[in-house]
Amino acid sequence: MATQGERRAETRQRLLDAAAELFAERGIEASSVDAIAERAERTSGAIYDHFEGKEGLLFALLEGWVDAVAVAIGAELATATSLEERMSSLWRNVSDPPTGDGRWIALEHELWSYAARNDAAREHLARRYRAAWDGVDDAVADWGLAGRDAGPRVGPALIGLLLGLEMMRRVDPDALTDEVAIAALHGVVTSATTGVRT
């Protein structure tokens, strides 16, 4: 017999899975709390209990996927020895993520669109992006390419380019080769750290 903790964990996971399916199929705004609960074979009260509502569910879903991708990227970056290997790792993990069945990036784009119309979602997304930008800037400094306080920030441009390149790949898989994507990412880092050898 399952413990209360195991039942709560199962309910939480079922809600996350149902939300992922519906958000991908219908979008965030067209996916009601009741529809998510029905898909998960749970009550709408379970969503409020676990996530305080649909936005909390969305944020938890994306955070879990983003965290899993960050772990995979971190492990690969720890063994990479060149900027090209590092950019290849970033591109590979965004264009073919190790988790979320490829849905997390579609939801990231959906969240961006939703956040453009919703102040609370925009602030949540801005906090996430600021943390990601800081992580990229710290990594570039750790790679010896620039001081943490030297020159323009690389993080916003690199994250923006990654998401934009992935969007183009999603629209037309043949439009963008891995080599071109990696070269573009490499170019962003090197242009922001001009004068530093890579």
Report the pLDDT value the prediction gives residue 102, as an integer from 0 to 100: 66
One domain, residues 154 and 102: yes
Q: Are residues 22 and 67 in the same domain?
A: no
8 A C-beta contact, residue 168 and residue 176: yes
Above 60 in pLDDT, residue 196?
no
Q: What is the largest CA-CA distance in the chain?
A: 64
Whether 3 and 72 share a structural domain:
no
The mean per-residue pLDDT over the stretch 77-96 comes to: 89
**Domain identity same for 65 and 34:** no
Domain that holds residue 39: 1-52
pLDDT tens per residue, range 144-190: 776 555 556 888 999 999 999 998 988 898 999 999 999 999 999 88
Instruction: Provide the CA 38 distance to its chain's centre, in angstroms.
Output: 27
What pLDDT is stored for residue 64 in this prediction? 78
| 98 pLDDT more than 80 | no
Cα distance between the two ends of the chain? 58
What is the total count of domains within the chain?
Answer: 2
Examine the fold and report which residue of 29, 52, 75 is the final residue of a domain before the chain moves on.
Answer: 52
CATH at residue 187: 1.10.357.10
Q: What angle do CA 118, 121, 125 make, to 5 degrees?
A: 130
Residue 69: pLDDT band (50, 70, 90) is: confident
88 plus 36 within the same structural domain:
no
Task: Please state the pTM of the whole predicted model.
Answer: 0.76
| Contact by Cβ (8 Å): 186, 83 | yes
pLDDT value at residue 172: 92
* Residue predicted with more confidence, 97 or 197: 97
Residues 73 and 1 in one domain: no
* pLDDT interval class at 51 (50, 70, 90): very high
Lowest mean pLDDT among 5-14, 60-69, 98-107, 132-141: 98-107
How does the average pLDDT of the chain come out, rounded? 85
Q: What is the pLDDT of residues 29-49, one digit of tens each?
A: 899 999 999 999 999 999 999
CB of 50 within 8 A of CB of 33? Answer: no
Same domain, 74 and 98: yes
Q: Judge if 46 and 143 occupy the same domain.
A: no
